[in-house]
Homo-oligomer: A and B are copies of this chain.
Amino acid sequence: LRASLDDWLQRFRAGERRAAARLISIVEDGGDEARDVLDALHPAIGRANRVGITGPPGAGKSTLVDRVATVLATDTLVGVVAVDPTSPFTGGALLGDRIRMGDALQQGRIFFRSLASRGSLGGLSLHTSEVVDVLDAFGCGTVLIETVGVGQSELDIVEKAHTTVVVLVPESGDSIQTMKAGLMEIADVFVVNKADRDGAQRLADEIAAALDLRFGRRPDPASWRPPVLLARARDNDGTPELIAALQRHRDWCATSGERRRKDRRALESRLRDLVHDAVQREVWSDAAATRLFAQGLQAIERGETTPYRVADSIVREWTKQPAGRERRA
């Protein structure tokens, strides 16, 4: 098995596409082999520009991502990670809908991967970062991470990106509400898509006015003021402007030190997630903890104790134990 993993790693380093797909699958499956892959690839991780694209369902994110990926793919390998495309409600884009990327996808310049958001042990956010890591190590210059920005875990994902694009449409609703809700804090670039519809210019103006309030009309040249772009992704209108904005933000991140800060924050958050994962696994592989859990459930149901007290007793019992303690068979 080990020999076979080494073989895949070697083929991966040689740029073999099938090896990339294989290693991504291993990472998606999790467990010891996933960990071995990520450890082995670690020195090669960190070069890709990670761009999160988020917005409400129906804003045209997939189309926009496909347009951008297709253009970028003329210069570099591009990774596209679509998170939660199988959510019950988003209606999501399956690979079949992605034929716009057709040529570049065929020629192996774009790697597309969709991640379901259900049931991933270590949390969706950790999981996504790890898949992006593999694409990064494979040499993708840019990885586009597309999420429906509604849930907490989806927002965690975009916050780990270097650049976050927020896509809105005139129907997104009351923009003032949007402002209040913290979008201003996560967006590096705004795109008002479906810009031929009523209200598009008004939405863009409102966002710009809110940005004026925040940055002033003559912003500090050292700070980044998110541009507000109009686009009609379906007609491929606005793609060059978006790509230029991504490039400017990338350059600004590099020169301002923001990239280093973001990478540090993402690493901290990743390491924290890994520790939480590992410590949880430790607890549930401990025989005493497992027994206390089962007994505690029954005691709670009999009304003899409370969930908090049981949780405490499990943690107390567990942390009291020296190394080499009893293990579940």
Chain A residues packing against B (C-beta within 8 Å): 35, 38-39, 42-43, 55-57, 84, 86-92, 117-118, 124, 148-155, 166, 172-174, 177-178, 180-183, 186, 264, 267-268, 270-272, 274-280, 282-283, 289, 293, 296-297, 300-301, 303, 306-312, 314-315, 318-320, 322-323
Contacts and interface: CB of A to CB of B under 8 A. Distances in A.
Residues of A contacting B: mostly? helix
A182 B88 contact: yes
A306 B87 contact: no
A84 to B, nearest CB: 7
Given A39-B306, A320-B322, A57 B150 contact: yes
Given A153-B151, A271-B310, A86 B181 contact: yes
30 contacts: A38-B307, A38-B308, A57-B57, A84-B150, A84-B151, A86-B180, A86-B181, A88-B182, A89-B148, A89-B150, A90-B150, A91-B173, A91-B174, A91-B178, A92-B177, A117-B151, A124-B152, A148-B150, A151-B151, A153-B153, A268-B297, A271-B310, A274-B310, A274-B311, A275-B283, A275-B289, A275-B293, A278-B315, A282-B315, A320-B323
Contacts of A323: 319-320
Contacts of A280: 276, 279
A118 B280 CA distance: 23
A118 B88 contact: no
Nearest to A43: B303
A283 B279 contact: yes
Contact of A151 (B152, B312, B314): B152
A271 B307 contact: yes
Contacts of A279: 279-280, 283, 315, 318
A280 B283 CA distance: 11
Nearest to A323: B320
Contacts of A149: 88-89
Contact of A181 (B87, B183, B319): B87
A95 to B, nearest CB: 13
Contacts of A320: 322-323
Contacts of A300: 267, 271
A329 B212 CA distance: 44
A151 B123 CA distance: 12
